[in-house]
Amino acid sequence: MSNTVTPPRRVSDSAPLPVSLKQPRLPRWAPAGLAAAAVAVGCGIGLAAGLESRIQWGLIAALLFILGTFATATAVEGARQAKDRLATSLVWICFLLAVVPLASLIWETVARGIKVLDGYFLSHSMGTLPDALPGGGIYHAIIGTLQQVGLAALIAAPVGLLTAIYLVEYGRGKLAKAVTFFVDVMTGIPSIVAGLFILSVWILILGFGPSGFAGAMALAILMMPVVVRSTEEMLKLVPNELREASLALGVPKWRTILKVVLPTSIGGITTGVMLAVARITGETAPVLLLVWGAKTINNNPFEGAQQSLPLYVFQQWQQGSDASYDRAWAAALVLIAFVMILNLVARGIARWKAPKTGR
C-alpha cells in the first residue's frame, strides 16, 4: 500500500471565474479616442453641410460622442456599463458647456485688454485727458474700488457673522424665523434696489452728497445676506459633540462659540466672506447712483465723487472711440484679475485653516 498523499487541487485551478471578471472592458484611451473621432466627424459634417457656426459643429460632435460611446459600450461591455458610460458622457458634455463660455470670455478679455495694460495704465488717472484720445489710466478707479469694497466688507462682515451666530446658536421661535425670512429676501434683492434705498435715505432725506461711502453702504446690503448664508452653513457643519464637550466642562456658551465653534469653521467662514467680496466688486448700478464717478484721484471715500472699476468700464464703453474701447477692455481684465486673486486667497485660507485629519 502506497503512503503517497495527493495534494488537494486548488479551487482557483478548477473553478470557473466569475462572470464579472470575464466581462470585456473598453481600454482606458477609448473615451478620448471616441471624443477625437466625434470631433473629426462633427467638423466633417459641418463642412459638408455648409454650416458656418462652430457652435453647430460642436453640438453635432457632442451628440456623436454620446451616441458613439453608448453604442460602443453596449457592444463591448453590456447594457449596464453602457448606461454608466452614457451618464459619464453627459456629465462631461455639461462640464464643457459650462467651461467654454467662461474660457471664451477670458480669452476675449485678455486679447482685447492687453493692448493698453501696462505700468503707465495702472499708475495714472484720466486727469484732464479727453476720453476719445489714447492714454490715461485706471489708478483712480483702483483706489476707489479698494476703498468702497473695503468699507462694505467692514460693515457687512461683522453684521453678517453675528447674525449667522444668532440663527445657529441662539435662534429659536418667531424672531429667528423672521430673520431667516428677511435674509432670504435680501439674498435675491436687485443691486439697483439697494442703490435706490441708500439714495433715498442717505442723499435725498439726510442731505449727504455722493461719495464712496454711500456706494459702500449699498454694496454692504448686497454682501450681508451672502455672508449670513455662508457662515450659517459653516457653523452647522461643526459637530455638536464639540459644543457639548465644552459645555460639560463648565465653559460658558459664549466662550464655547468663541474658542471652539468659530476656530473650527473659520476656514469656511473666511472663504464665504471673500466670495461675497468678489461678488460685489463688479456691481455697477449702486456705484452709478451713489458715487457718480470721477476722472481724477479722490483718496477720501467720505466726500466727493469717486471712480470705481465697473463704472469706469461702463463710462469708457459709452464714449464709443477705439481708445476708450481699449481702456474698457483693459479695466475689465484688471477687474477679472482682482476677483480671481480674491478667490485664490479664499482657497488658500480655507486650506490653511482646514481642520487637520492626522492622515
Mean pLDDT of 76-83: 88
The count of C-alpha atoms lying within 13 angstroms of the C-alpha of 270, restricted to the half-sphere facing its C-beta, is 19
Would you say 327 and 266 are in contact if contact means Cβ atoms under 8 Å apart?
Answer: no
Confidence of residue 2 (pLDDT cuts 50, 70, 90): very low
**Cβ neighbour number for residue 174 with a 10 Å cutoff:** 7
Which tens digits make up the pLDDT trace of 238-294?
A: 999 999 999 999 999 999 999 999 988 888 898 889 889 988 998 999 999 999 888
- Measured CA to CA, the distance from residue 172 to residue 152 in angstroms comes to 29
Burial grade of 160 (CB within 10 A; 0-12, 13-18, 19 or more): buried
User: So what's the architecture of 138-353 in CATH?
Assistant: Orthogonal Bundle (1.10)
- Measured CA to CA, the distance from residue 225 to residue 223 in angstroms comes to 6
To the nearest 10°, the Cα dihedral for 247, 250, 256, 261? -40
Where is pLDDT greater, at 132 or 254?
Answer: 254
Q: Which stretches of 124-211 are DSSP H helices?
A: 139-165, 173-187, 191-198
Which tens digits make up the pLDDT trace of 54-63?
A: 888 888 999 9
Q: Which of 8-22, 257-271, 322-336 has the lowest mean pLDDT?
A: 8-22
Mean pLDDT of 128-145: 89
Share of the chain above pLDDT 90, in %: 57
- Measured CA to CA, the distance from residue 350 to residue 145 in angstroms comes to 25
Mean pLDDT of 331-352: 86
Mean pLDDT of 185-214: 92
Would you say 109 and 94 are in contact if contact means Cβ atoms under 8 Å apart?
Answer: no
Range(s) of the chain covered by CATH 1.10.3720.10: 138-353
To the nearest 10°, the Cα dihedral for 350, 351, 354, 357? 160
The pTM (predicted TM-score) of the whole model is 0.81
- Measured CA to CA, the distance from residue 227 to residue 86 in angstroms comes to 39
Which tens digits make up the pLDDT trace of 309-320?
A: 999 999 999 988
Share of the chain above pLDDT 70, in %: 92
Q: Which of 178, 159, 282, 324 is nearest to 225 (CA)?
A: 159
What pLDDT is attached to residue 28? 86
